Amino acid sequence: MSSPAATINPEDRLFHLILALMSTTHGLNKDHILNTVRGYREDSEAGMARESIERRFERDKDALRELGIPLEAIIPPEDDGNNKNTLYRIPKGDYELPPDIRFSSPEIALLNVAAAIWREGSLSKEARIAQVKLASYGLVVDEAMVGFAPIISTRDPALSALREAIDQGRVVEFDYLKPGDTAPTARKVSPFALVNHEGRWHLYGLEHTSMKEKTFLLRRIVSGITTLAEPAEPSPEDVARTALADLEAVWRRNVARIKTTPGSDAHAVLSKKPEAVVDASTITVHYTDLAIFAGELTAFGMDIVVLDPPELKELMRQHLELLVADHV
Amino acid sequence: MSKPQRKPGATDNLLLLLALVPYVLDRGEVSVAEAAAQFDRSEADIRKAVELIACAGVPGENLAYSHLDLFDIDWDLFESEGTITFWNTVALDHQPRFSAREASALIAGLQYLQAHPAYAGRGDVNEVMEKIRKGSGRGPADRIAVGAPALEEHLHALNQALETRVSVEMKYHNKRGEALLRVVDPVVLEARDTQWYLRAWCHERQALRTFRVDHIESLALTHQTHEGRESFLDDISPDLFEPSEHDVTVTLEVHPGTLPLIADYLPRGYQIPAGDKPVHVDIPFAHYGSLTRLVASYPGVIRVMSPLSARTAVADFAKAALSHYS
């Protein structure tokens, strides 16, 4: 069953690695794997440098983890720091879906739509993998996707790095520019959750300097994300939902009164905001972030006047003065 | 599933092997054509995958691959009729779990869907979420949350118009701020984050147009049915804003950190430069109405450099609005 190494493609080698690691109860050490598993064995026999084969094994382990395959590495207690004795295995129970979980056709269809929401940007890879796994149920998905195509954008450059850090449970550092400040400040945060509220991404986590849980708007992160080796503080239970509820509470608390030109675009758009109250030309609306809301309102130009609150009125004036100064 | 955008790589092929085994086992017998449709791959890809699986196995007692530790298929049936059926399988027999990352993407997606009229009334969404949580691998599966987009009053009507294929009459505010009466045949309702867009065949323009749902002042379903405009979907470009030859090119100065926010306006394939120095980008605009809105949304962050008429348009726009506050 041995073929020249050159004809064994990567998926063939990876598939055999999975089968071997799933069939062992106690685990296999690296020597055993490299000398017996198809793809490695042929390369070993063909005299390929041991170092290159070992590097390939490292990359293969990463490839399996990327697919969500639970690869376990067991280091024996008497280990001398040399990974020669590390035993690798894929516990069948961790690999397979528990037998009591089954999906119906409508459920598969629903999950496919849920995965399709991420078809752009940094979560699209996970979504695609999930869709192939869903397809393996063999159910016919006939629910029409035509007519409905939602997308959540995941364009914020910090999003991928923060997801990675959350998954690995590690502390991050970044520069954050608060509205009104002229220079960013360095922050050190244990990242807990990513929350999309009103279409904007937020990081929720524990800030180390203040030891307080805080919400950071991703678009105000002005540096790259540095992930430290330091492990993150443990996150509270159900943290993403709590963070989202916090943002929704802020939205509810903040109320603005705005006078609009009747029949204008501004009137049409603002009166359709969730829970907006329209009283002739005056509209009462909720908002989350003062600076962002002021930006949205500035785009309506002379079709609106902010009546309340005073801090929003003042910010509008500053925005408009800045626009004039920048363009005359 | 949608057509793959790119050539499948080794990871895609590996995933196909892992998914194909339980799929065939559950069904007993599957034709190559059915499997190809199910996984959105070519029949040749499926054949290659089956041939690879059929020769695969684990090294046995003597550390070599022997027939007992190998997959086996009905080769005759496969070669003569293109039917896949397993006689023996090794290690794999069930569907793989979702990784914690995949599970969190699915759960956040389901949360978001709950806001859509077509799903809001469905009782099974929470049940499915629970199953995904239970069926996911180790690691945090609930570290992403997505706030539901607001339920727009027009969505119900538009959804109904899509299902019954009737034309819609609406009063719409365009990017210039003009209110227009339009009769359209809805093709697809799209959401980007919290913003809903209607793509529809416009009777007046005799072309496909994109309308922001929150810019629709009022709408009514007509009694006029149409044959369905789905065929146009293939021609729809993924960009919401399509350039035209009448556009004026405007040079903007933007901080690189702000570029992702205006990605919808950037030229296709634009690479965001590294560093923190302001960059200049040329963007076509159909009229200064949409330019002033964009620039005014990010005061102090986006500046118009040229042409002079565009700078003046923004300054005049801001001066007029400022008169309300002095």
List chain B domain ranges: 10-88, 99-148, 156-235, 248-325
Burial class (CB in 10 A: 0-12, 13-18, 19+), A306: buried
C-alpha count within 13 angstroms, C-beta hemisphere, residue A211: 0
CA distance linking residue A303 with residue A264, whole number of Å = 7
Q: Among A223, A173, A219, which residue's Cα sits nearest to residue A196?
A: A219
- Binary contact (A136, B90; C-beta < 8 A): no
- Binary contact (A106, B124; C-beta < 8 A): yes
What are the residues whose beta carbons fall under 8 Å from the beta carbon of B272, sequence distance 6 or more? A157, B256, B259, B260
| pLDDT tens digits along B154-186 | 888 888 888 888 999 999 987 766 788 999 998
| pLDDT tens digits along B288-323 | 888 898 899 888 888 999 889 999 999 999 999 999
CA distance linking residue B243 with residue B265, whole number of Å = 10
Q: How far is A223 from chain B (nearest CA, A)?
A: 8
Say if CB B230 and CB B201 are below 8 A apart: no
Q: In what order do the strands lie in the sheet with B248-254?
A: B279-285, B248-254, B302-306
Both tokens assigned to B91: 């290690």
CA distance linking residue A228 with residue A189, whole number of Å = 10
Of the pLDDT bands very low, low, confident and very high (cuts 50, 70, 90), residue B233 is: low
CA distance linking residue A114 with residue A106, whole number of Å = 12
C-alpha count within 13 angstroms, C-beta hemisphere, residue A279: 6
CA distance linking residue B146 with residue A197, whole number of Å = 6
Q: What DSSP character marks residue B62?
A: T
CA distance linking residue B297 with residue B267, whole number of Å = 20
pLDDT at B238 over 70: no
Interface test with B, best of A1, A11, A235, A308 (most B CBs within 10 A): A11
The C-alpha angle B142, B145, B148, rounded to 5 degrees, equals 145
CA distance linking residue B144 with residue A313, whole number of Å = 34
pLDDT at A140: 67
Of the pLDDT bands very low, low, confident and very high (cuts 50, 70, 90), residue B259 is: confident
pLDDT at A56: 93
CA distance linking residue A327 with residue B316, whole number of Å = 9
Of the pLDDT bands very low, low, confident and very high (cuts 50, 70, 90), residue B258 is: confident
Q: How far is A86 from chain B (nearest CA, A)?
A: 19
What average pLDDT score do residues B238-249 get? Answer: 62
Q: Among B252, B244, B170, which residue's Cα sits nearest to residue B213?
A: B170
CA distance linking residue B34 with residue B19, whole number of Å = 14
Return averaged pLDDT per consecutive 10 residues of chain A, 328 residues in all. Answer: 63 95 91 91 88 93 88 80 83 89 86 85 83 85 60 77 89 89 87 90 95 92 91 90 92 95 88 88 94 92 93 94 92
Place of tokens 């389901």: B110
- Binary contact (A302, B323; C-beta < 8 A): yes
**CATH number for the segment(s) A158-244:** 2.30.30
Query: Which residues on chain A are in Cβ contact (under 8 Å) with B146?
Result: 152, 195-196, 244
CA distance linking residue B58 with residue A16, whole number of Å = 7
- Binary contact (B297, A68; C-beta < 8 A): no
Q: Of all helices (H) and strands (E), which one includes residue B168?
A: strand B166-173
Q: Of all helices (H) and strands (E), which one includes residue B197?
A: strand B195-202
ipTM of the complex: 0.81
Interface test with B, best of A148, A215, A275 (most B CBs within 10 A): A148
| pLDDT tens digits along B114-136 | 766 667 777 788 889 889 988 88
What are the residues whose beta carbons fall under 8 Å from the beta carbon of A107, sequence distance 6 or more? B124, B127, B128, B131
Q: Of all helices (H) and strands (E), which one includes residue B280?
A: strand B279-285
What are the residues whose beta carbons fall under 8 Å from the beta carbon of A256, sequence distance 6 or more? A284, A285, A286, A287, A293, A306, A308, A309, A312
The CATH architecture that domain B10-88 belongs to is: Orthogonal Bundle (1.10)
Both tokens assigned to B81: 């009729």
Decide if A276 touches B, using CB distance below 8 A: no
Query: Which residues on chain A are in Cβ contact (under 8 Å) with B239?
Result: none
Q: Which amino acid is at B299?
A: P
Place of tokens 């950071």: A216
Sequence-ordered alpha helix ranges (H) in chain B: 10-27, 32-39, 43-54, 75-81, 100-113, 117-120, 124-134, 153-164, 288-297, 308-322
Q: Among A160, A154, A150, which residue's Cα sits nearest to residue A117?
A: A150
Looking at the domain A5-95, which fold is it?
A: Arc Repressor Mutant, subunit A (1.10.10)
Query: Which residues on chain B are in Cβ contact (under 8 Å) with A265?
Result: 173, 177, 179, 215
Q: Which of A130, A136, A295 sits opposite B22 (nearest CB)?
A: A136
pLDDT at B236 over 70: no
Question: What residue ranges do the domains of chain A occupy?
Answer: 5-95, 99-154, 158-244, 254-327
DSSP-derived 3-state class of residue B127: helix
CB within 8 Å of chain B, chain A residues 63-122 = 63, 66-70, 92, 94-99, 101, 103, 106-107, 110-119
Specify the pTM: 0.79
Both tokens assigned to B158: 């538009």
Decide if A234 touches B, using CB distance below 8 A: no
Burial class (CB in 10 A: 0-12, 13-18, 19+), A38: buried
Query: Which residues on chain A are in Cβ contact (under 8 Å) with B304?
Result: 326-327
Decide if A247 touches B, using CB distance below 8 A: yes
Q: Which amino acid is at A178?
A: K
Query: Which residues on chain A are in Cβ contact (under 8 Å) with B294?
Result: 299
CA dihedral A59, A62, A66, A69 (to 10 degrees): 120
By CA distance, what is B200's nearest residue in A?
A: A147
| pLDDT tens digits along A131-185 | 999 999 887 665 555 566 777 777 777 888 898 899 889 999 999 988 777 778 9
Query: Which residues on chain B are in Cβ contact (under 8 Å) with A103?
Result: 128, 131
Place of tokens 């990513």: A194
pLDDT at B144 over 90: no
Decide if A270 touches B, using CB distance below 8 A: no
- Binary contact (B145, A23; C-beta < 8 A): no
pLDDT at B77 over 90: yes
CA distance linking residue A156 with residue B144, whole number of Å = 15
C-alpha count within 13 angstroms, C-beta hemisphere, residue B207: 5
- Give the number of other CB atoms < 10 A from CB of residue B257: 20
Say if CB B8 and CB B46 are below 8 A apart: no
Q: What is the CA radius of gyration of chain A?
A: 27
What are the residues whose beta carbons fall under 8 Å from the beta carbon of A83, sequence distance 6 or more? A30, A75
Q: How far is B244 from chain A (nearest CA, A)?
A: 23
What separation in angstroms does the CA of B32 have from each of A86, A234, B4, B43, B234?
Answer: 41, 49, 18, 6, 27
pLDDT at A309: 95
- Binary contact (B18, A319; C-beta < 8 A): no
Q: Which of B137, B261, B293 sits opposite A219 (nearest CB)?
A: B261
- Binary contact (A136, B96; C-beta < 8 A): yes
By CA distance, what is A301's nearest residue in B?
A: B321
CATH of the structural domain B156-235, one choice from 2.60.40, 2.30.30, 3.40.50, 1.20.120? 2.30.30
What separation in angstroms does the CA of A129 have from each of A97, A136, A159, A305?
Answer: 15, 11, 19, 49
